[in-house]
Copies of this chain bind each other. A is one copy, B any other.
């Protein structure tokens, strides 16, 4: 039964921690629930078997997210029922100022702006995403050629895919990797929209004033 999975306090804490759509590692979820990693591992295996969460391997970490919006919806419904008799929960977020805003992930843009960019591309059907796989659409190709002077032949590579969903460290949602992600980041630098921070070892990406505006015009969500 699904409800018994949600019924356990430790598992419920994990699920509510995942409710914002981000993905969390197993150990982070353990800390959220206030239990040891072993116990968390057992719980996560059950949640996965019940189809409530899905894992995604990234290096030696294992990120978990809610399988889809249906799960989140049911969880919200349960929370709604619980609220009527008097219960609640809150959720915080991680810290770190500029690094969360924009940074380099290998060679492409990550952080808030990186996630925002992929969101924008997806919502306008410039790319199609199912699970981890992302494809560039015909409209997407036209958009790139017109606005960033990026042509499809610049993106082909014998081993690396054009598009790839990469799990964002701070946002815990996907941003765009692959040759396209790298090409776009490179183009941002060429256009003087953004540049990597000069302090050695830093992964922060600083946007210029005009770069900020141009980026928002192309990929803005109206929040900034």
Q: Which of A77-96 contact B (CB under 8 A)?
A: 77-78, 80-82, 84-85, 87
- Is residue A153 contacting chain B, with contact meaning CB distance below 8 A? no
Interface size, chain A (Cβ < 8 Å): 26
Copies of this chain in the oligomer: 2
What separation, in Å, do the CA atoms of A81 and B66 have in the docked complex?
12
- Is residue A190 contacting chain B, with contact meaning CB distance below 8 A? no
| Cβ contact within 8 Å between A77 and B81 | no
Stretch at the interface among A5-13, A113-121, A162-170, A202-210: A5-13
* Chain B: CB-nearest residue to A83: B2
- The 9 A-B residue pairs whose C-beta atoms are closest, nearest first, are A4-B7, A7-B7, A3-B6, A74-B77, A3-B7, A51-B85, A2-B82, A2-B81, A3-B3
